[in-house]
Amino acid sequence: MNKGLSYKKVRKHKTLVESIVEDLQGKIIKGQLEPGQKMVEAELCEKMGISRSPLREAFRVLESQGFLAHEPRKGMQVSRVSLEELENIYVIRANLESLATNLAVKNEDPQILEELRRLHHEMIRVAQEDDTGAYHKLNLKFHEVLAEASLNQRLIELIDTFVKQTNRYRVVVFSTPGKLQASIQNHKDIIRSFEKGDAEEAERMRRAAILNNIEVLREHFTREEPANL
């Protein structure tokens, strides 16, 4: 079967470039494309059944988002993130998300609060069943709702990009024992701050949780070999 053709079929209203961006982004996040891997245009074109123009445009988008990196005449490669850079990214993400949390609380939308509570209880349930996969999905949703409640479109998009970037190394963070319970407690705290209308407190809670991930990462990567981060 020609795998390439499916691309053209799938796109209903999406343009080819968008499809390619999503596809490659997904593969990078999932680790199917490893950091440092060379992205040879002709090769990818053939595999995907597309031509170089849309691929190169997709490359530019992904580069802007930090998923790819290139030097002129040397070609694109999947961005290679050092531990230090990853820490840098986490610091930014912590700030952006805590800002969003602050704004979300200030907006005082009862429907948002309701949604957060629902997700929170759902997470408690799947945590008891030790379903980390389901938990991760709900967790993402929880923070997505929080971000969107900021009603700041630019911020929402920015956070989305940064979350995706850190998720490339999520596996590491989430496999840590106790992390799940800490996460649940954190959500509880945020919801409580939300109920109190204490935006600053919610902001601090959110920031602390994200920054804590850095510790986990640092610990992990000083023990084990830096591998091919």
Partner DNA sequence: CGATTGTCGATTGTATACAATAATGGGCAT
Partner DNA sequence: ATGCCCATTATTGTATACAATCGACAATCG
Q: Is 36 in the site for DNA (CB under 7 A)?
A: no
Q: How far apart are CA 165 and CA 29, in angstroms?
A: 7
Residue 80 contacts DNA per CB under 7 A: no
Determine contact, residues 38/71, Cβ cutoff 8 Å: no
In the complex, what is the shortest distance from the CB of residue 132 to its own copies, in angstroms, rounded to a whole number? 28
Q: What is the DSSP string of 1-25?
A: --HHHHHHHH-SSS-HHHHHHHHHH
Residue 41, both tokens: 């245009």
Nearer to its own copies, 16 or 190 (CB): 16
- Minimal distance, residue 81 CB to DNA, in Å: 20
Tally Cβ neighbours within 10 Å of residue 76: 21
Residue 39 interacts with, from DNA, its own copies, none (CB under 5-8 Å by kind): DNA
> Which window, 67-75, 110-118, 136-144, 206-214, contacts DNA (CB under 7 A)?
67-75
H or E element that contains 78? strand 75-78
Closest distance to DNA from the beta carbon of 54 (Å)? 4
Among 6, 10, 26, 51, indicate the residue that binds DNA (CB under 7 A): 51
Distances (CA, A) of 141 to 7, 123, 136: 28, 11, 9
Q: Maximum distance among all alpha carbons in the chain?
A: 58
**Residue pair 14/20 in contact by the 8 Å Cβ criterion:** no
* Binding-site string for DNA from residue 105 to residue 144, where x marks contact by CB under 7 A and - marks none: ----------------------------------------
Binding site for DNA (CB under 7 A): 8, 11, 15-17, 38-43, 49-54, 56, 70, 72-76
